[in-house]
Amino acid sequence: MAASPSRAGRRVVFFPFPYQGHFNPVLRLASALHAGGFAVTVFHTDLRTPDPTDYPSDYRFVSVAVPVPTDLVASEDIARLVMELNVSCAAPFKERLAALLVEEEAGGVQCVITDVIWHSAQAVARELGVPALGFMTSSAASFRNFIAYPTLIEKGYMPVQEEHRNDPVDVLPPFRVKDLQRIETSSLADFASLLGHTVDGARQSSGLIINTFEALEAADLDKIREEMPIPVFAIGPLNKFTPPVKSSLYQFQQDHQCLDWLDTQVPRSVIYVSFGSLAAMDPHKFVELAWGLADSKRPFIWVVRPSLIRGFESGDLPDGFREEVVDRGRIVDWVPQDEVLSHPAVGAFLTHNGWNSTMEAISEGVPMISRSFLGDQYGNAMFACNVCRVGVEVQVEDQSDRGKIQDAIGQLMVNKRGKVVRDRMANLKQMAEKGIKEGGSSHTAFLNLVDLILSV
Catalytic residues: 22, 115
Site stretch for ligand UDP (CB under 6 A), options 169-177, 192-200, 270-278, 322-330: 270-278
Site stretch for ligand UDP (CB under 6 A), options 184-192, 319-327, 356-364, 411-419: 356-364
Site stretch for ligand UDP (CB under 6 A), options 46-54, 82-90, 348-356, 409-417: 348-356
Backbone angles phi, psi at 350, to 5 degrees: -85, 110
Q: Of 168-187, which residues contact ligand UDP (CB under 6 A)?
A: none
CA–CA separation, 36 vs 403, rounded Å?
50
Q: Using an 8 Å Cβ cutoff, are 135 and 26 in contact? A: yes
The residue number with the shortest CB distance to ligand UDP is 21
Choose which of 45, 139, 274, 441 interacts with ligand UDP (CB under 6 A): 274
Our finding on whether 276 is near ligand UDP (CB under 6 A) is yes
Nearer to ligand UDP, 257 or 400 (CB): 257
CA–CA separation, 310 vs 288, rounded Å?
14
Choose which of 17, 286, 334, 446 interacts with ligand UDP (CB under 6 A): 334
> Residue 284: how many CB atoms within 10 A of its CB?
11
Cβ 354 to ligand UDP shortest distance, Å: 2
Cβ 23 to ligand UDP shortest distance, Å: 8
**Burial of residue 259, with CB atoms counted within 10 A of its CB: 0-12 exposed, 13-18 middle, 19 or more buried:** middle
Q: Using an 8 Å Cβ cutoff, are 136 and 24 in contact? A: no
Our finding on whether 356 is near ligand UDP (CB under 6 A) is yes
Choose which of 14, 272, 286, 355 interacts with ligand UDP (CB under 6 A): 355
Q: Count of residues binding ligand UDP (CB under 6 A)?
A: 19
E strand or H helix at 294: helix 283-296
Cα dihedral 6→7→10→11 (10° resolution):
170
* Nearest CA-CA partner of 249 in 24, 417, 42, 427: 24
Cβ 95 to ligand UDP shortest distance, Å: 29
Q: Using an 8 Å Cβ cutoff, are 366 and 346 in contact? A: yes
Binding mask 20-39 for ligand UDP (x = CB under 6 A): xx--x---------------
Nearer to ligand UDP, 337 or 370 (CB): 337
CA–CA separation, 387 vs 174, rounded Å?
8
Nearer to ligand UDP, 204 or 265 (CB): 265
Our finding on whether 158 is near ligand UDP (CB under 6 A) is no
**Burial of residue 176, with CB atoms counted within 10 A of its CB: 0-12 exposed, 13-18 middle, 19 or more buried:** buried
Our finding on whether 363 is near ligand UDP (CB under 6 A) is no
Choose which of 303, 345, 408, 449 interacts with ligand UDP (CB under 6 A): 303
E strand or H helix at 93: helix 78-103
Task: Give the residues lining the site for ligand UDP (CB under 6 A).
Answer: 19-21, 24, 274, 276-278, 303, 334-338, 354-357, 360
